[in-house]
């Protein structure tokens, strides 16, 4: 077979493969599997290309502490820039999410910012440098993959908002199951002021959190969301108040999430998995996933221990 005919056949097979992948994806709903990315090579996403570009914008870090309690702490750490995301911080976020996907004892996650503020979105210096549509789209697909995987972690996740969460920072808060805000903090989708719409998946997730009318107000109005407004529209799940001189917002957030992570890790992780499938999948696919997850805990150690504790009925 001539080379050009070979190349033509490969191209046809590639297109058919991509088309079938999309059809399967649409028929079965999102692939909720560990590392469930949205974009892959099959659909023309070349991750290596954007990784190289992002590598060129250093600064800051994403720190991760996996605690004995089963609750991990992730810190967006670039205080000189209000914790804005540099290119290397986007890459580090991906690495931290991969680490959390491998953490089998994990039950909870708190995402917070360094130095008393959350995150002011993409680093504007990096944004200026990759402002051409092609690179912007690649950064968008990269961050959508990372934040989708963050939200799909089998951990109960909380974004602790102190200070400000702006632009991509506000989108990051929507990639957690819950949001807690401290007094005086603000979440603001400033994208409109940048001539943008969210690109990291924040709009799709915001509609599912607050409904389409509230999402329109927050995006088209670039409205500042304070603690009261946040709780009223359901964007915030609670306002963190310090209970004593020694207490910290992070400590209060850990207490809050501990109420949901108390218990054996396999059970807490199973709870997140069944809620995740209920949130993302069409009903019958969600029921099948629930059946599969149920099968992992029914008759498991935690179930048998609970039964042993129950007094036998005469
Ligand atoms: C593309 C989109 C997305 O990814 O979806 C985005 O997020 S675009 C990015 C969307 N985010 C934004 O538009 C927020 C931009 N930043 C601001 O509006 C402001 O900095 C505030 C965050 C409101 C803080 O104002 P405030 O007056 O309190 O402090 P400041 O402005 O002096 O900021 C302190 C230092 O942090 C830097 N800084 C703050 N936000 C930054 C950012 N996003 N990128 C790069 N540097 C940033 C400032 O340049 C300044 O550095 P120097 O002391 O060296 O001057």
Cα of 166 vs centre of ligand 1, distance in Å, is: 9
Cα of 155 vs centre of ligand 1, distance in Å, is: 30
Query: For a pocket test of ligand 1, which of 84, 123, 128, 142 has the largest count of ligand atoms closer than 8 A to its C-beta?
Result: 84
Predicted pLDDT of residue 243: 84
Cα of 129 vs centre of ligand 1, distance in Å, is: 16
Ligand 1 cavity residues, CB under 6 Å: 81-82, 84, 120-125, 127, 164, 166-168, 171, 190-191, 194, 196, 198-200
Q: How far apart are CA 189 and CA 169, in angstroms?
A: 8
Q: Compute CA distances 275 → 102, 118, 150, 202, 229, whole Å.
A: 20, 27, 15, 20, 26
Residue 306 main-chain phi, psi, to 5 deg: -65, -40
Cα of 242 vs centre of ligand 1, distance in Å, is: 27
| Nearest CA owner, ligand 1 atom 36 | 81
What pLDDT digit, counting tens, does each position of 89-130 carry?
999 999 999 999 999 999 999 999 999 999 999 999 988 888
| Nearest CA owner, ligand 1 atom 25 | 82
Q: How far apart are CA 214 and CA 229, in angstroms?
A: 11
Predicted pLDDT of residue 35: 53
Q: Hey, is 250 helix, strand or coil?
A: helix
For the CA of 164, the nearest atom of ligand 1? 22
Task: Tell me: pLDDT of 23 over 50.
Answer: no
Cα of 120 vs centre of ligand 1, distance in Å, is: 6
What pLDDT digit, counting tens, does each position of 36-87 carry?
778 988 777 888 889 999 999 999 999 999 999 999 999 999 999 999 999 9
- Token pair belonging to 51: 């990784």
Predicted pLDDT of residue 293: 98
Q: Hey, is 37 helix, strand or coil?
A: coil
**Strand bridging mode 71-77 / 224-225:** unpaired
In this prediction, the answer to ipTM > 0.90 reads yes
Predicted pLDDT of residue 258: 98
Measured at the alpha carbon of residue 204, what is the angle toward residues 234 and 111, in degrees to the nearest 5? 60
Predicted pLDDT of residue 29: 40
Q: Stretch 138-161: mean pLDDT, rounded?
A: 97
Q: Stretch 228-252: mean pLDDT, rounded?
A: 95
Which residue is listed with tokens 């042993």? 308
Cα of 67 vs centre of ligand 1, distance in Å, is: 31
Largest CA distance in the chain: 81
For the CA of 171, the nearest atom of ligand 1? 5
| Nearest CA owner, ligand 1 atom 46 | 81
Cα of 188 vs centre of ligand 1, distance in Å, is: 13
Alpha helix stretches (DSSP H) within 87-183: 87-102, 124-129, 133-151, 168-174
């Amino acid at each position: 077979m001539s080379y050009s005919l070979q190349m033509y056949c490969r191209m046809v097979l590639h297109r058919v493969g991509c088309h079938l992948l999309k059809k399967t994806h649409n028929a079965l709903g999102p692939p909720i599997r560990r590392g469930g990315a949205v974009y892959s090579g099959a659909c023309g996403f070349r991750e290596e290309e954007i990784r190289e570009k992002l590598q060129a914008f250093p600064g800051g870090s994403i720190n991760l502490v996996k605690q004995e309690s089963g609750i991990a702490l992730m810190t967006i750490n670039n205080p000189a820039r209000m914790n804005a995301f540099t290119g290397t911080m986007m890459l580090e976020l991906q690495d931290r999410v991969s680490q959390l996907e491998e953490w089998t004892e994990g039950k909870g996650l708190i995402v917070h910012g360094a130095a008393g503020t959350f995150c002011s979105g993409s680093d504007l210096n990096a944004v200026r440098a990759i402002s051409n549509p092609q690179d912007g789209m690649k950064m968008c697909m990269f961050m959508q993959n990372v934040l989708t995987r963050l939200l799909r972690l089998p951990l109960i996740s909380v974004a602790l908002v102190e200070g400000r969460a702006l632009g991509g920072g506000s989108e990051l808060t929507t990639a957690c199951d819950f949001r807690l805000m401290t007094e005086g903090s603000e979440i603001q989708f400033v994208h409109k002021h940048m001539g943008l719409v969210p690109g990291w998946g924040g709009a799709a997730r915001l509609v599912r959190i607050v409904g389409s009318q509230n999402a329109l107000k927050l995006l088209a109005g670039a409205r500042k969301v304070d603690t009261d407004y946040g709780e009223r529209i359901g964007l915030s799940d609670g306002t963190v108040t310090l209970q004593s001189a020694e207490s910290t917002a992070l400590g209060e957030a850990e207490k809050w999430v501990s109420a949901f992570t108390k218990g054996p890790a396999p059970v807490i992780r199973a709870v997140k998995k069944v809620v995740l499938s209920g949130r993302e999948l069409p009903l019958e696919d969600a029921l099948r996933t629930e059946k599969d997850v149920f099968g992992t805990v029914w008759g498991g150690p935690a179930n048998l221990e609970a039964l042993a504790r129950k007094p036998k009925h005469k």
